Amino acid sequence: MGKPITKDDFINRHSAFFQGLGFDVQFAGCMYYMLGLGLSDTISYEREDDFVIKRPENGETIMEYYQVKHSKDGGNMVDSDDDFWKTLSNWIHLYEISIQKEQKTFFTKGRFILLTNKKPKNFLYCRIKDLRDGIINIDEVRACINNKLNENPSYKDILHSLYNIEPILLNQFLHKVEIKHFDNFLGAMYENFLAIHNNPSNADSIVKNLIGALWQYKHDCNGSFEFTGLTFRQKFKDILEKIAFNNTVTLDQVDDPDLEHENMDHAMVMVDQLKSIKIISDDAGKDDFSLSLYLVKFFKLKNALQYFYKIQLMTERSESNYDKIARLKWKSIFISYQSSLIQKDKNHEKISDQEKAKAGCSTFIKAMESPFEVAGQKTQDDLSEAWYLKLSNLWPPKIVWHFDWFKKHIEKS
């Protein structure tokens, strides 16, 4: 329970595991971006580049090319650093081997990102940043390249290649070149996971298991490593579902509410539903014993959710997942206990108020006896009961007990 471990603790805790896998920083860079894929985005590993992401934007496909360059000691990426020049050379080569139709938009629909643990101190990259910021123009960049050529540096071949690109195309290309600095790729990947998923407290085990599963898949896929955001979530559903579940989520650590200080208006939909199926009487108030039992459960969960969010034990995503699972469980119970009413309604047969109340009461009682499961584990009884009540209190309600409420709020939605 509580906040997740730090990135340094994550690395130290699992370093032997990563070393045993042979896990490398190139794949860590790929995973960093894989975690944030949009559902329609596509990531490919070791194809045209270290990895490539295709993103649909405004009816077009944007290609993002990624190179990962890592040094044991980090340091600076200076003028003579081969990593910088080899990366530029690779991107120019991709342009040159593209078919003529693709070359026309290769740079305008492309992004070129170098990921490194070195700090960029390269003269050309400084000029590229100035170009992007509008401080200089492409003619000044070309003049800078030409001046450097006169010094006959070791990387003169790539400078020649750049200088020989038409100025308009070179301008398009350099506007899309970017260097992103990472002190530690594994640490960055772990922190990115925390940022995306709002710091689930079991993040270290989830990320460790995900790394292992993805690394194994990479070795088994015969070079066909490619996922959309959707297929990634589907393939590793069992691991990712743990984001939404932590078996420490119980109501035990939260005190019972004092009903004298709770606003009963906040529970009125739930109360009206209980009255409709005669679980409580029409004139029941908060002092009514039966009603008070359900109000305590309802307000206890309401207060607990605030606490869970505060300590980062639950996120919007995990709460939504609980909602979805609870509704599926309720739906099966509702259909089981009200199938005869549903059939009568289809046949335009009359259904008495007594039948509706009886079926609704049976549905409610069965739900209160039926904890739902998240990631293969049953929730605490008190938690599941309170969750059903929570969903019955929304407007429009997501869970109903009485057949008339079903017809009005569920069937037509």
* 25-45 residue pLDDT tens: 999 999 999 999 988 999 999
Instruction: With CA atoms as reference, report the closest residue to 37 among 201, 231, 210.
Output: 231
Any idea which residue has 């309604």 for tokens?
A: 345
Query: Of 243, 273, 300, which marks where a domain is finished?
Result: 243
Peptide bond into 4 cis (omega under 30): no
Residue type, 203: A
Tokens of 57: 């934007």
Q: What is d(CA 363, CA 368) in angstroms, rounded to the nearest whole number?
A: 9
Query: What share of the chain in percent tops pLDDT 90?
Result: 71
- The range of the structural domain enclosing residue 44 comes to 7-243
Q: Is the sign of the CA dihedral 331, 333, 338, 343 positive or negative?
A: positive
Contact 19, 26 (CB under 8 A): no
Domain identity same for 51 and 121:
yes
Domain identity same for 71 and 178:
yes
DSSP string covering 342-354: HHHHHTT----HH
Q: What is d(CA 230, CA 30) in angstroms, rounded to the nearest whole number?
A: 16
Determine, yes or no, domain membership for 250: no
Determine, yes or no, domain membership for 2: no
- Which pLDDT does position 1 carry in this prediction? 45
Determine, yes or no, domain membership for 253: no
CA 237, chain centre distance (Å): 12
Structural domain tally of the chain?
Answer: 2
Instruction: With CA atoms as reference, report the closest residue to 51 among 201, 290, 261, 227.
Output: 227
For residue 402, the SS3 value is coil
Domain identity same for 209 and 326:
no
Determine, yes or no, domain membership for 264: yes
Determine, yes or no, domain membership for 168: yes
| pTM of the complete model | 0.64
Q: What is d(CA 323, CA 273) in angstroms, rounded to the nearest whole number?
A: 18
Q: What is d(CA 189, CA 271) in angstroms, rounded to the nearest whole number?
A: 46
Domain identity same for 349 and 310:
yes
Domain identity same for 36 and 75:
yes
- Which pLDDT does position 413 carry in this prediction? 64
pLDDT tens per residue across span 196-208: 876 677 788 889 9
Domain identity same for 316 and 349:
yes
For residue 201, the SS3 value is coil
- Which pLDDT does position 2 carry in this prediction? 55
Determine, yes or no, domain membership for 251: no
Burial bucket for residue 11 (CB in 10 Å: 0-12, 13-18, 19+): middle
Domain identity same for 236 and 265:
no
Any idea which residue has 């605490």 for tokens?
A: 380
- Which pLDDT does position 245 carry in this prediction? 59
Contact 391, 323 (CB under 8 A): yes
Instruction: With CA atoms as reference, report the closest residue to 297 among 208, 386, 372.
Output: 386
- Tell me the β-bridge partners of 166: none
Q: What is d(CA 245, CA 379) in angstroms, rounded to the nearest whole number?
A: 10
- Which pLDDT does position 247 carry in this prediction? 55
- Which pLDDT does position 99 carry in this prediction? 85
- Which pLDDT does position 191 carry in this prediction? 92
Determine, yes or no, domain membership for 361: yes
Domain identity same for 309 and 368:
yes
Question: Higher pLDDT residue, 334 or 249?
Answer: 334
Determine, yes or no, domain membership for 249: no
What pairing do the DSSP bridges indicate for beta strands 226-228 and 42-45?
antiparallel
User: End-to-end distance of the chain based on CA atoms, in angstroms?
Assistant: 38
Domain identity same for 87 and 229:
yes
Contact 7, 190 (CB under 8 A): yes
3-state secondary structure 40-64: CCEEEECCCCCEEEEEEECCEEEEE
- Tell me the β-bridge partners of 378: 373
Q: What is d(CA 142, CA 181) in angstroms, rounded to the nearest whole number?
A: 26
- Which pLDDT does position 376 carry in this prediction? 67
- Which pLDDT does position 22 carry in this prediction? 82
Does residue 175 surpass a pLDDT of 70? yes
Tokens of 141: 């960049």
Domain identity same for 223 and 329:
no
Query: Of 243, 271, 292, which marks where a domain is finished?
Result: 243
pLDDT tens per residue across span 110-162: 999 999 999 999 999 999 999 999 999 999 999 999 999 999 999 999 999 99
Please provide residue 90's backbone torsions phi and psi, each rounded to the nearest 5 degrees.
-65, -40
In sequence order, what are the residues at sequence separation of 6 or more whose Cβ sits closer than 8 angstroms to the Cβ of residue 33? 43, 51, 53, 66
Query: Of 181, 214, 243, which marks where a domain is finished?
Result: 243
Domain identity same for 271 and 375:
yes
- Tell me the β-bridge partners of 54: 42, 63
Does residue 293 surpass a pLDDT of 60? yes
- Which pLDDT does position 65 carry in this prediction? 97
pLDDT tens per residue across span 210-240: 999 999 999 999 889 999 999 998 899 888 8
Q: What is d(CA 259, CA 288) in angstroms, rounded to the nearest whole number?
A: 12
Radius of gyration of the chain (CA): 30
Domain identity same for 193 and 265:
no
Question: Higher pLDDT residue, 107 or 4?
Answer: 107
